[in-house]
Amino acid sequence: MSKIVVPFHLVSPSPWPLLASCQLGNMVLSTAKIFSTKPEGMTFLMNLFLMIVIAWSWWRDVIRESTFENRHTKEVVAGLKLGMLLFITSEVLFFASFFWAFFHCCLSPDIFIGQTWPCKGIQAFDPFHIPLLNTLILLSSGMTLTASHHFLMIGMNKKSINFLLMTVILGVYFTILQYIEYSEASFTIADSVYGSTFFMVTGFHGIHVIIGTIFLLVCLVRMMKSHFSSYHHFGLEAAAWYWHFVDVVWLFLYICIYMFGK
């Protein structure tokens, strides 16, 4: 009897999607309580820990299906690629809303902020110090990640691992410099609309850098365990798409927030 191949992805029964949805609801409630008069930090940390455990278990099963059970056929990979593209599109719109808010206030500052930009009393960052260094770091990380992908495709796994390790190190270095910049800031997120827009945009970008670094670190571990081959490595491709998206957002952020908005 011939084997029937279906041209779509049949998802295996799994408890993780339902558990993740319920836990995300708990995360929203615990986050809201943080902003109340009696914040419950321990509850938030517990929910965050449970969310990490659920995500880890879910992605572990996906990796097992891909690497050891060979369930990720061409049709499945095509669906995963489409899903990743749609996710990055939603992220583009997410950051577009922040840039919209920034330009709305920057191009026509009203009387409530002194009719000037940056607002009165705000000393903006010098774009040619830490921001410029971070720009060079992210651009360099994009180059090392592209090199890692290239060497994996031609079968030079050792060089691919080395370049991917360099990318992870550059991502960590960027985060450290961003923390130093925040610690030296002369204003906070509560200082007028400039502080709000600046820390919202750069803060969410920083969170995306941390997520992208973890994404690449997982790919590095998988690569060291020979989970990827020259023709089957969508995990690394998805991480590369996400990282290049983070790079592009930073370029817009650097030009608009640090240089144009100074």
Residues 6+ apart with CB under 8 A from 26: 47, 50
pLDDT per residue over 5-19, tens digit each?
Answer: 566 777 778 899 999
- What is the arithmetic mean of pLDDT over 155-159? 90
pLDDT at 243: 96
pLDDT per residue over 200-244, tens digit each?
Answer: 999 999 999 999 999 999 999 999 998 888 888 899 999 999 999
Is residue 39 very low, low, confident or very high in pLDDT (cuts 50, 70, 90)? low
Is residue 27 very low, low, confident or very high in pLDDT (cuts 50, 70, 90)? confident
The torsion angles phi and psi of 161, rounded to 5 degrees, stand at -65, -45
**CB 65: neighbour CB atoms within 10 A?**
16
pLDDT at 230: 83
pLDDT at 1: 47
Distance (Å, whole) CA 17 – CA 19: 6
Q: pTM of the predicted model, to two decimals?
A: 0.88
Rounded to the nearest 10 degrees, how much is the dihedral formed by the CA atoms of 155, 160, 161, 166? 180
Distance (Å, whole) CA 16 – CA 192: 42
DSSP state of 184: T
Average pLDDT of the chain, as a whole number:
87
**CB 250: neighbour CB atoms within 10 A?**
24
142-177: burial string, b at 16+ Cβ within 10 Å, e else: bebbebbbebbeeeebeebbebbbbbbebbebbbeb
Cβ atoms 88, 242 nearer than 8 A: yes
Helices 41-67 and 234-253 pack at an angle, to 10 degrees, of: 130
> Lowest-pLDDT range, 125-129, 160-164, 207-211?
125-129
**Amino acid sitting at position 213:** T
Is residue 155 very low, low, confident or very high in pLDDT (cuts 50, 70, 90)? confident
In the chain, the domains with their CATH numbers are 9-71 (1.10.287.70), 77-260 (1.20.120.80)
pLDDT at 5: 59
